[in-house]
A = this chain, B = another copy of it.
Amino acid sequence: MLELTPLLNPERDEPLYAQLYTYVREEIREQRLVPGRRLPSQRSLARHLGVSRNTVDAAYQQLLAEGYVHSEARRGLFVAELPDDLPPSGRRIQEKDSPHGSVQAFGTLPEQNRRAAPTCDFRYGDIDTDHFPFKAWRTLAARSLSAENAHLLLYGEARGEMDLRKQIAKYVYQARGVSCRPEQIVVGAGTPYLLDLLRRLIGDGGRYAMEDPGYLRARRVLEESGRSVLSIPLDEHGIRVDRLAAAGANTVYVTPSHQFPLGMIMPAARRLELIQWARERGGTILEDDYDSEFRYEGRPVPSLHSLDPYGNTVYMGTFSKSWMPSARVGYIVLPEKLLPAYRQYEDLFKQTVPRIEQHTLGLFMESGEWERHLNQMRQLYKKRYTALHEAIGREWGDSVRVVGSAAGLHVVLELGGALAGLSEQDAIDAAKRRGVIVYGGSVFRHDPVEKTPVRLLLGFAGLSETKIEQGISLLGQAWRDPER
């Protein structure tokens, strides 16, 4: 009677309800469940599958919302007649009322779930969640959430909590050589938000340039100034300062610690060139040090900010990689020259990060827990990086080059040799058919280039070593036989 027997795997990244939803949807789409057929009751299916009723409920709600089933009062759910022109399912989930935030990723990968949920998603932006110090954080959060700290309920300083800014000042000095007073630091709800604030501080005179390929969101934020953002090509050392100087910009957004997306580390000489450019131009460097915490080889190169004696560099940091992406805590270190402009904006936007969260993060850093967590993550990610790097070598040898340095939470693969004939889209599609999600590098490019090898972006922070090896092996199969 209960013909629904999906293989639900709690170890997958995808929540159980989404796996169940995908399974039932495919059963309906492929007419194994025919229109008019009644679905099992939530209770009986939950018992049958050994999952909670909430899981079944969430899957059923999704199916209902998308019109795959309809409800009849007191009788239950029935498989609906499907129209012929059904749009790709991924997109629809995002448009409709999806019961969990985690489904959102489907929306950005429209085709991903047509066949099956992915086995391995090399999504960039994920972190490891298995080793998060929930207990330590709960303890500190409970301490913040007490009547003694009642003042934390009220508006705080626009720049952020002083306690937290002091900890950040200490950290950026020790880890990145950034020397600043806490009052130069502004905390805010994420890098795009803070970049938008910087755009306002720089004002109408800002003529922006950035790396190409580069961080898309940064481009779109800066383009809000109503002007186009100039694209500056890269060489193996990062942004080409000669081309920057020729372009006529006065403000440049760069990712020198680990170029996004290509991953090269800008050597000191190039950094000094850039600093010299800013000096001569009377310009400003926006240094986004987004994942500098993670470096697996060699000596760290000091931040651009620490090398710039002229005060033309804004240092930008984030806790998205080193703590959690969903906390939305970033910070900028303003040079003295931007402080007067900041004071004018200080009243406009109140602080955007909850005060209690800031206070807890301050305690977390002060207690040394953050440092401990960071060290643990560094080791973990290094293992994952190594596993990925080795698996790539084993799988493809010289046909795939890993671009960039041993740092950060993603790698870029450049296809060559036997794989040189594969287009980016074909490589992505073939992978998808094997349940592996990889991301095209071409979207990060702004100006078209004549001939460029196919590049794919693989985030690894959220995947275990086993998962990584499995994923690369599937990717090997997929690209050996891309038509299947």
Contact = CB atoms under 8 A, between A and B. Distances in A.
A462 interface: yes
B145 A220 contact: no
A232 interface: no
Contacts of A134: 145-147
B182 A349 contact: no
Interface string A119-139: 000000111011010100110
A249 interface: no
Interface string A326-351: 11110000000000000000011111
A288 interface: no
Interface string A171-195: 0000000000111000001101100
Contact of A192 (B97, B141, B350): B350
Contacts of A147: 130, 132, 134
Interface in A351-384: 351-357
User: Most chain-B Cβ atoms within 10 A of its Cβ — which of A126, A130, A152, A326?
Assistant: A326
Given A154-B126, A351-B328, A162 B97 contact: yes
Contact of A162 (B101, B129, B162, B190): B101
Contacts of A192: 348-350
Number of copies: 2
A142 interface: yes
A426 to B, nearest CB: 24
Contacts of A142: 138, 141-142
A125 B155 contact: yes
A326 B348 contact: no
Contacts of A98: 157, 162
A431 B324 CA distance: 47
A150 B162 contact: no
Given A141-B141, A154-B462, A192-B348, A326 B97 contact: no
Contact of A328 (B101, B157, B220, B354): B354
A183 B96 contact: yes
A43 interface: no
18 contacts: A96-B183, A97-B181, A97-B183, A98-B157, A98-B162, A104-B155, A104-B157, A125-B154, A126-B154, A127-B153, A129-B151, A130-B147, A141-B142, A190-B352, A192-B348, A193-B193, A226-B226, A328-B352
Given A98-B162, A192-B350, 9 more contacts: A101-B162, A101-B355, A127-B153, A130-B147, A132-B150, A132-B153, A137-B145, A189-B353, A326-B355
